[in-house]
Amino acid sequence: MRHASSVRVPTPNGSRYLQQLCKHWAHNLTVAYTPEAGSVVFPHNARGADWPGDATLTLQARPDALECRLVASSAEHLSALKGALERHLDRFAFREVPLAYPWQDEAA
């Protein structure tokens, strides 16, 4: 079973943050990105974890927001990745913190 959630984070710097996140995670994860869109694969066993399956993050930069969609292998996996994304994005967007994260979970 897959679990998914999306969020539209209001910011005028969506492209900058998308690129920072992707460059940061490209050191040890599978990442593809342009200034407008990106994707990151989080392996099920990353950092010693043992999730049922891999997870993916897709990113889309808009003029006034960064749109993010996570698809994970369990509800716990999804929750953990939401937290990781928020922590990393807040670190890169320290001048704008606190950012809003109005997550919208999708029905399974």
CATH number at residue 22: 3.30.310.50
Residue 99 lies in a domain: no
pLDDT in tens, 17-60: 999 999 999 999 999 999 999 999 999 998 888 999 999 999 99
Distance CA(65)–CA(17), nearest Å, equals 10
Domain count, the chain: 1
Q: What is the pLDDT of residue 19?
A: 98
Residue 102 lies in a domain: no
Structural domain harbouring 74: 3-94
Q: What is the pLDDT of residue 82?
A: 98
* pLDDT at residue number 107: 73
- Has residue 105 been placed in a domain? no
- Residue 108 resides in a domain: no
